[in-house]
Amino acid sequence: MKVLHVLCDLSSGGAERLVLELCRRRGPDIEVAVATVGGLGPLEGAFRAAGVPLIVGGRPRKHLGLRAMARLTRAMDGVDIVHTHLFAGDTWGRLAAVLARVGNGRGPSRRPIVVTTEHNVNRDETWQRTVKRALAPVSDAIVCVSEAAAAYTRDVEGIAGARVIPNGIDLSRFGPHRGSNSGDPTRVLAIGRRVPQKGFDVLVAALPEGMRLDIVGEGPYRVDHPRVRFLGLREDVPELLAGADILAVPSRWEGFGLAAAEGLAAGVAVVASDVDGLREVVGDAGLLVPPGEVAPLEGALRRLGADPVLRRALGERGRVRVAARFDIRQTTDRYERLYLELALGCSTHEAMP
């Protein structure tokens, strides 16, 4: 079975990291490739190290994107499953799938089976919802990364029938948690793109005296603060989590919350916004606070900073929760079973008119 994943680029977000894990952990009967609508990105080296062929886009500003569309359509030759991710990948990938007629030598030419994964609740989208509704019939299956994302897809975006496959993480990457050294300031860690959705502005405003904050990730948000460091993209996130006392996830909305799941796996005490997918990921293994509000977040940080026993208890509870619910092996197995189900059910699937 040949699977082509379509992404906007190879950024280091949750969607791209999920695709990387699906490629790394593919079964022996699955061939994979990744096509990008745009360019490459920080995860290029990891994909190449995993032996994943890359079809690089480079969406042009002129010619209405016809060259990029032609490149994507050609990449689908001989492909059984096209798996699209994020708005650009979903849109361009599905349009290319409609244009593609896959002649693989096993029968009449047909279009590839299309799987679309919704990775977020997309509260900042407007006109994009109309595009999604128009293209939804192209997808043979729509998958959401959480129950919250599925409810949003149905109730707000008007797309019914999505199934849920929770994101997963590689538990083996996370070792024992140690926290900061005795006598050092309480260390707070935050991970994610530095954009309004992630709420880092609220976190900086809520940072109590006596605590230091490290923010991992890229993006436009930056502020001068004597106790805040912006670390950019890092390859040593498990090590950073092992040395942190608290992981803060102050997102204004979140389809899943991969950073929160990684914090749970690392045994760090997590404080997160009580929104969408974060509520599902964290559950009773962390402290949940209203999104966008400084005072409750500051109070939760103070409480955790003053109570090492509570931090340890939450960390232990988090490890148990994430191992039971968000192991990447469960995620990859469910996607491959979905591919097989669709391939068997659509073996006589005719090309779309």
**For the chain, what percent of residues have pLDDT higher than 90?**
80
Shortest CA distance to 225 belongs to which of 237, 213, 242? 213
Buried b (16+ CB within 10 A) or exposed e, 151-167: ebbeeebebeebebbbb
Domains of the chain: 2-168+329-345 (3.40.50.2000), 171-326 (3.40.50.2000)
| CA separation for the pair 318, 281 (Å, rounded) | 10
Render pLDDT for 274-291 as a digit per residue (tens, 0 to 9).
Answer: 998 999 999 999 999 999
**What does the DSSP assignment read for 86-150?**
HHHHHHHHHHHHHH--B--SSSS-BPPEEEEEE-S--TT-STHHHHHHHHGGG-SEEEESSHHHH
User: What are 273's strand-pairing partners?
Assistant: 289
What pLDDT does residue 60 have? 53
The region of weakest confidence among 67-76, 179-188, 252-261, 308-317 is 67-76
Provide long-range contacts, Cβ within 8 A and 24+ apart, for 319-323. Answer: 319/264, 319/265, 319/267, 320/285, 321/264, 321/283, 321/285, 322/169, 322/171, 322/261, 322/264, 322/265, 322/285, 323/171, 323/265
Crossing angle for the helix pair 294-306 and 308-325, to the nearest 10 degrees: 110
pTM of the complete model = 0.89
Where residue 353 falls among pLDDT bands split at 50, 70, 90? Answer: very low
Render pLDDT for 43-101 as a digit per residue (tens, 0 to 9).
Answer: 999 999 999 999 987 665 544 567 778 888 989 988 999 999 999 999 999 999 998 86
**For the chain, what percent of residues have pLDDT higher than 70?**
93
Mean pLDDT computed over 17-46: 94
| CA separation for the pair 20, 306 (Å, rounded) | 39
Where residue 349 falls among pLDDT bands split at 50, 70, 90? Answer: very low
Shortest CA distance to 116 belongs to which of 4, 255, 2, 257? 4
Provide long-range contacts, Cβ within 8 A and 24+ apart, for 174-178. Answer: 174/238, 174/241, 174/242, 174/262, 174/265, 174/266, 174/267, 175/238, 175/242, 175/266, 176/242, 176/267, 177/241, 177/242, 177/266, 177/267, 177/268, 177/315, 178/242, 178/243
> Do residues 173 and 146 touch, judged by C-beta distance below 8 A?
no
